[in-house]
Amino acid sequence: MSNPADLLFTKDHEWLDVKEDVVRIGITEYAQDELGDIVFVDLPAVGDELTEGDSAAVVESVKAVSEIYAPVAGTVTAVNTDLEESPELINEAPYSGGWIFEIQIGEGAALKDTLSMEEYETSLKEA
């Protein structure tokens, strides 16, 4: 399993690609592998205001239903509408075409409790 070194990760197996004050969010290769074949994604709406820890999206697979949480407070600025017709993109390309949504970090909000690639991979080994 190879996780990109330029991303941040959460203990909930989400990846974060931070570009200034916008964060693109998806689930890790490990998470999609554990879920199995993704069959449906319930996306947030552009403009949704989220608080850190809010359930932002839902990923449904043949094995389970998993919530995707907002890693920071802010406003949803984009969603990956390709997932509506092709949810399997999360399985096929979790770090590129399988991204789920983007959030603009709210005023006064900050990313907390994120892990580097090395810290994330260590946490997987310890689990």
Domain ranges of the chain: 8-110
Q: What is the signed CA dihedral for 19, 33, 61, 50, rounded to 10 degrees? A: -20
Per-residue pLDDT of the chain (127 residues; tens, 9 = 90+): 577 889 999 999 999 999 999 999 999 999 999 999 999 999 999 999 999 999 999 999 999 999 999 999 999 999 999 999 999 999 999 999 999 999 999 988 888 889 999 999 999 988 7
Region 8-110: CATH code: 2.40.50.100
- One-letter amino acid at 98 equals G
Distance of CA 82 to the CA centre of its chain: 15
Distance, CA of 6 to CA of 120 (rounded, Å): 12
pTM: 0.94
